[in-house]
Amino acid sequence: MALSFAKHPSLVAYVTCGDPDLATTREIVLAAIGAGAEVVELGVPFSDPLADGPVIQRASERALRRGTALADVLQLAKEVRKQSQAGLIIFSYLNPILRMGLAKFAAVAQDAGVDGALITDLPVEEGDTYLAEMRKRNLATIFLAAPTSPDDRLKQIAQVSTGFVYAVSRTGVTGARKQLPDDARDMVRRVRKYTKLPVAVGFGISTPEQFAAVGEFAEAAVVGSAIVETIERNHGKEAEAVAEFIRELTVVSRRSSARTDLRKSR
């Protein structure tokens, strides 16, 4: 079932497509789903990833050297969809989508069996045509909510979001951090004032403890740079390494949620 968030928390896994190559990305995505990722964000590499830290910048450069384009990512999604029912989100900067054309993008994405998209540099004010095209194709539009967003912006973000809301845990670019900021919980609480949609928390989550902690207050945790770094460090055995990383990442939270389930059944 697409975009379901059954676990506590569910894992939303990000990969930069085409790093190290598209065939390997496909294996990685399937391995990630096999290891427990419920939603996969298929990252479209972009030449100017200004919201990303060094790990995803390097991955994007590697993918672009191989000529990976948005059309390839959509084709990849189509192939993954044949083998899996997991949620698939296109995660991109605006320009590659604009170049393809918003209407065409939505049509091809729907045909590929994609569930929705998140465009990093498209705030709600600029999204009308995009929203209309995506609605026509019954595709989810996920927007970022930031710790700097005042309440009136959170309200607008909630209004146009479908699928889930992506709460950015802290100011900054993507990349692993040692500590989950204290205000992540508060951030999610603020978002929930305006929406009943599931909330996924992202930016900086890389350890089993952080992952489990997010489960206490959000439906899902997004893990990106830590997965991309695992891919970078395990040349030739990327898919297994990512599966192993995900199993370790989720072990603490699964143990504690198993306990919760046990208590419930008693």
Q: How far is the CB of 62 from another protein (least distance, A)?
A: 13
Pick from 24, 75, 195, 256: which binds another protein (CB under 8 A)?
195
41 in catalytic set: yes
Measured between alpha carbons, how far is 240 from 21 in angstroms, rounded to an integer?
16
The size of the chain, in residues, is 266
Q: Which of 19, 21, 38, 41 is catalytic?
A: 41
Cα angle at 16 between 211 and 45, to 5 degrees? 135
**Residue among 200 and 241 whose Cβ is closer to another protein:** 200
Burial class (CB in 10 A: 0-12, 13-18, 19+), 148: exposed
CA-CA-CA-CA torsion for 170, 171, 174, 179, nearest 10 degrees? -40
Instruction: Please list every residue from 53 through 112 that binds another protein, using CB under 8 A.
Output: 53, 57, 61, 64, 69-71, 81, 85, 94-100, 102
Cα angle at 202 between 105 and 255, to 5 degrees? 120
Q: Of 66, 55, 115, 127, which Cα lies nearest the Cα of 91?
A: 115
Q: How far is the CB of 252 from another protein (least distance, A)?
A: 26
**Residue among 132 and 258 whose Cβ is closer to another protein:** 132
Q: How far is the CB of 237 from another protein (least distance, A)?
A: 28
Q: Which of 38, 52, 72, 115 is catalytic?
A: 52
Q: Of 232, 203, 233, 238, which Cα lies nearest the Cα of 59?
A: 232
Pick from 172, 181, 185, 251: which binds another protein (CB under 8 A)?
172
Q: Of 41, 38, 43, 42, which Cα lies nearest the Cα of 3?
A: 38
Q: Binding to another protein by residue 196, rule CB under 8 A? A: yes
Residue type, 264: K
Q: Binding to another protein by residue 7, rule CB under 8 A? A: no
Q: Binding to another protein by residue 265, rule CB under 8 A? A: no
Instruction: Please list every residue from 111 through 150 that binds another protein, using CB under 8 A.
Output: 113, 115, 120-132, 135, 138, 140, 143-150
- Residues in the interface with another protein (CB under 8 A) total 72
Catalytic residues: 41, 52
